[in-house]
Structure 1
Amino acid sequence: MLANLPSPLFVVDEHIRLRTVNPAAEQLFGASLNMLLDRPLSDFLPAHATILDLIRHVAAGGASVSEYGVELALSKGETIAVDSHMTPILETPGHVLVVLHPCSVARRLDQHRVQRGSARSVATLAATLAHEVKNPLSGIRGAAQLLEPSIGEEDQPLVQLICDETDRICALVDRMEEFSAGRPIDRQPVNIHQILEHVRRIAESGFARRHRIVEHYDPSLPDVEGDRDKLIQVFLNLIKNASEAAQPDGGTITLSTTYQHGWRMALGTSRERLHLPITVEIKDDGPGVPPDVAEHLFEPFVTSKPRGTGLGLALVAKIVHDHGGVVSYHAGEPGAVFRVSLPANRPNGRGGREQEEAAQR
């Protein structure tokens, strides 16, 4: 089994000497099994490598750690980005199992950083449109209403068309203005399950009344430090999208929560690590998102809906980022899965703000 794993896997002892190495790890280090076994890992990595520090941390603390977006400089001069997963081997004290995967989550984090910049651009554009477009549109609508009494009945639909279209454009600008920075988030300890229950009741009494909503919750989940109303807006939007994508009659929407201990991610090349142990997933059984749209799904004005504006998921991404979290899309089997990862609330009030600052950078 280990020999067939495509990801590099190795075991080190208490002196961080290599004890087990699979073929993928041989390829990674550019050395054969005989050359690697019983050799210090530091012979194949720089002395300051993050991987070495993480292994020491796992060996000393006895808890598993996942670190995403680790820059791994190899002795042969190559530098690669990997997602690393490390766990102590309980049966052999001091030994640590290390699995490395090609960087995936970190790449999505870089995409989210681009999305955040896009959201700021939308806010600037909205402010311009409010002045240059929205105000003149109000004048056009008023002029159309003044003309209405003096035109014939056959032209009345044209007046209504002018009013309807100006209202639609003004509403679009109003939605874009939601991307503005506004007031800072009112951070309080929030029970994510209470938020999901509130959103579920709204959905079942309205847009998702013909669907079945299934819940798989981790009852031991700690609170999130965040703004209750804004988080409701996030999950209301995601569940509404799921209801529109699910099978029309009898479709299923699955809500699940999990706690991922030791789950940490790097933002780009920053040394900051985001600790996002709380994960909420919203899954539907619809057709999924077209591949050409999925990569840009959280960018403004990107949508797979015939009449969509492409602002709903962009706003979701902005709110989640403001909370120091990450939202991502994954293809389901079938359907779509939207995953929101958030920081846990800390009793001393620290943590959430630190991660928000890291996300903003």
Structure 2
Amino acid sequence: MKNIKLRIVYLILGAALLLFALFMLAVNLIIPAHFVSEAKKALISEAQYQNRTIPYTDEEPIYDEGEEEGNFFTPSIVFLELDDGYRPNTWNRDTYRLEKKLLEYCAGRDIALNQCYTFKTDRHHLIFMSVQEDYGDGEEPYSYIMYIDIGPITRYIVTLNWAFFGVLLAISSVMCLLGFRFGRDIEKEAERQQTFFQNASHELKTPLMAIQGYAEGIQAGVMDAGGAAEVILEESDRMTELVEELLDISKIDMGRQQLVFSEMDIRELLYDSIRAVEPAAAGGIAIVPDFPEEPVMVSCDDTQLRRAVTNILSNGVRYARSQLRLTCRTDKRHVTIRIQDDGNGIAEEDIPHIFDRFYMGKSGKSGIGLALTREIIHLHKGTIRAYNGDTGAVFEISIPVSR
């Protein structure tokens, strides 16, 4: 998963270049070729059906059934008379110069009658045909050149190229920026997952080594079986708890953690959480509840939310000196649960990472209890934050109240 952001950028640029190449092929080759073909059809049609390559009559030409009348280039046909010398179309000076260059081009070549040719200048792209009309009755044939200038179209195509290039460049720049950020997020997530598995392996290895050591001591007869069994059971419980947390957070990541919501008084849940950590607080840590007298009804999964609160209380008991205060306040929209200890607080550099999985702060302890707590709170559409209060660390949970 290394350099994934650069791979995404290269992929976007490659796709943009391929798209631009296809556009250039279509606009600069296929479309001009199509207009050249249509111009030739218009000239041939004009020569055939406007009495120039067939005996002259005063009647309108008769078209075969199902045949289209004319061509969309037909109104653009210009006639350059050749009888009695060059008779320029003097209505436009640029046209005069263009037709003069065309005659010079024809003079040096063997131009066959009724055949289409191409003549290009800097600003013009002519499709032309030399035609003679024979009126019969001994009259001299009437000669002239018909031409269509598709130069404006080719110039428009050049403008279209630059416009498309500018739009594609802008879109590609935005896509590259988004792709770079997306790739960077993928790399960070991959690194986080790698760190997660490394730390999980380490956390599981610690109790396993303890269990193995005491088991080997019992087998060798150098340890008291009762004391060793007690340690083995404690480490087994620790490992079981860690495995359960890993499974739960894995379910949350995969979207498979199903919550069962029910209406309940949040105060009862908080009291249950206090009772769950009382054995750990028996060493002189007082847990002081401060709840409203009226019921505070919320819609929650009581098992998961109790687990989240218990995780924070257990963390607070570990770092409190003498007291852990648990308060509950509510307003019209949210209920706020605040847990504050009277310990040394959280190191400032640890606060942004306190809910990261297996983050190891200054205390040297790591785990996923707080990370799991945050995920559970988020599943309840709530928020959780940690900061330092006047005395010790403060964890604040906010979840919506029932309506």
Q: TM-score, normalised by structure 2?
A: 0.41
Which structure has the larger Rg?
Answer: 2
The structure whose residues are more often helix, as a share, is 2
With normalisation by structure 1, the TM-score equals 0.45
Q: Which has the higher contact order (CA 8 A, sep 6+)?
A: 1
Structure with greater strand share of residues = 1
